[in-house]
Chain A
Amino acid sequence: MNYNWDWNVFFKSTGIGKEIYLDWFISGLGWTIAVALAGWIIALALGSVLGVMRTLPNKWAARIATTYVELFRNVPLLVQLFIWYFLVPDLLPERAQIWFKQDLSPATSAYLSVVVCLGLFTAARVCEQVRTGIQALPKGQNYAAMAMGFQQAQVYRYVLLPQAFRIIIPPLTSEFLNIFKNSSVASLIGLMELLAQTKQTAEFSANLFEAFTLATVIYFVLNMSLMKFMGWVETRLRVPGMMGGAK
């Protein structure tokens, strides 16, 4: 391959204001993190509620949660994003439409769409993990808590969920990483997150290889750090005496 690598490109001016290309990457990374974290908060909260619903004796609660999961797991993420960004705003009441399309900056409206989209999409997956975590617990835990006079909510809050969440930290970690990676779909609705900034750098500077190499490294380092962080969380929450726990 006959390619002239030029790593200095990141420190060159973009020709727009005083910005260098590295600034674009930093700003892109900022958006990527902002999208993923906000989406994750929605996913974790909603997914936990849905996961609990799927384990409740109430048939209707379980059915609603199951339907949700089927719906959000079986439609491609990108299709969901386009629906949230292009279709859903048109279904809003007129005043909300004007607010979304005119009052908000394009970046903000794209941001809201992608956060909602990723949050709801990932919630379906979190739901399944929370459900399996709860179902993996011995039935006796539920009985013991009930026998003590706990309300159902207390059974979940104090007995089932603290154990279920510990069990599912590893799969939950990969979902957490997924939402960072999936956030790159935002580039398709014009949000200038990391991938969009990469493409823009490539086009402006013609240093395609350098741009994508840097993006790859950033995604990799970011996800590795998150993985290490979650590993640390898992160790911190480990119960003494249990599998792999310190005595």
Chain B
Amino acid sequence: MIRFMNVHKWFKDLHVLNDVSLNVTAGEVVVVCGPSGSGKSTLIRTVNQLESINSGEIWVDGKNVVDPKTDLNALRAEVGFVFQHFNLYPHLSVLDNITLSPLMVKKMERAAAEKLALQLLERVGLAHKKDAFPAQLSGGQQQRVAIARGLAMQPQVMLFDEPTSALDPEMIGEVLRVMKDLAESGMTMMVVTHEMGFAREVADRVVFVDHGQIIEEAQPEEFFMNPQHDRAKQFLRQLLTPMQ
């Protein structure tokens, strides 16, 4: 479903992505973790070309996203993206946030778009908030709306860029539960997160990124119990026991 082939990216002198190759198959949930500044957010943003790359190829659902002939907007419509800071449209109601792209990009009928939006809101447990505005919702609720908004395009793939990092601790659970639900429904997901509980429980594979390189790739149990690389060991130690 998503295939990175020898991807390189530089920010001036900084080699943010260094020869990244990775394959995410349909229905798979891949968690990407790594220290801050390791390039994991950049990596996930290259999938729908919110970040360009300097060399290599990225294939999504059979299309090469870096090929100038690829219709990027059509491709982006098939890829849901959930941001760290939700990025809901503050001037639109919850319902309008969700229906905007189906109406404008997919040219869906309004009635159909609203029906779909309500189903999705039901699914993330926020049907009663359809007329609220983003600023009237908690962070956790906003992120659940953002997930519903992503799903409204009926995407092939959902990308999550640190979806819980900006949330208060007691709101993380509600978002992770929605994501778990989604994973269980068979959605292909790529998730940048530090939520190791989520990785352990939901992910099919964990990818550890450092200095723009994938240095470890393993099943969750394997990764948590028996990390191979020193950097990964150190990272896990700090994540589990931050005070030491």
Residues of A near any B CB (own CB < 8 A): 138, 140-141, 143-151, 154, 158-159, 162-163, 166, 239-242, 245, 247
Residues of B near any A CB (own CB < 8 A): 48, 50, 73-79, 81, 83, 85, 87-91, 100-101, 104-105, 132-136, 149, 153
Contact B105 A148 (CB under 8 A): yes
- Residue of A149, A162, A240 near B73 (CB, 8 A) is A149
Contact B136 A141 (CB under 8 A): no
Contact B79 A147 (CB under 8 A): yes
User: Can you name 12 A-B pairs with beta carbons within 8 Å?
Assistant: A138-B87, A140-B83, A145-B89, A147-B48, A147-B76, A148-B76, A149-B101, A149-B105, A149-B153, A150-B104, A239-B135, A241-B133
Complex CA–CA separation, A242 to B90 (angstroms): 8
Known: A141-B87, A143-B50. 9 other contacts (CB 8 A): A149-B74, A149-B101, A149-B153, A150-B73, A154-B105, A158-B100, A158-B104, A241-B136, A242-B135
Contact B136 A143 (CB under 8 A): no
**Nearest 10 CB-CB pairings of A with B:** A241-B135, A149-B77, A144-B87, A241-B136, A140-B87, A147-B81, A148-B101, A149-B76, A149-B73, A149-B105
Contact B133 A151 (CB under 8 A): no
Complex CA–CA separation, A240 to B132 (angstroms): 8
Contact B133 A240 (CB under 8 A): yes
Residue of A nearest to B72 (CB): A149
Given A141-B89, A239-B135, A247-B136: A151 and B83 interface contact (C-beta under 8 Å): no
Given A241-B135, A247-B136: A143 and B83 interface contact (C-beta under 8 Å): yes
Contact B90 A150 (CB under 8 A): no
- Residue of B73, B75, B85 near A138 (CB, 8 A) is B85
Complex CA–CA separation, A145 to B83 (angstroms): 12
Complex CA–CA separation, A11 to B216 (angstroms): 92
Contact A242 B101 (CB under 8 A): no
Residue of A nearest to B135 (CB): A241
Complex CA–CA separation, A138 to B134 (angstroms): 15
Contact B91 A163 (CB under 8 A): yes
Residues of B within 8 A of A140 (CB): 83, 85, 87
Complex CA–CA separation, A245 to B132 (angstroms): 13
Q: How far is the CB of B50 from chain A (nearest CB, A)?
A: 5
Q: How far is the CB of B21 from chain A (nearest CB, A)?
A: 24
Q: How far is the CB of A156 from chain B (nearest CB, A)?
A: 12
Residues of B within 8 A of A151 (CB): 73
Contact A147 B90 (CB under 8 A): no
Complex CA–CA separation, A247 to B73 (angstroms): 36
Complex CA–CA separation, A94 to B88 (angstroms): 56
Most B CB within 10 A of own CB, among A141, A144, A162, A240: A144
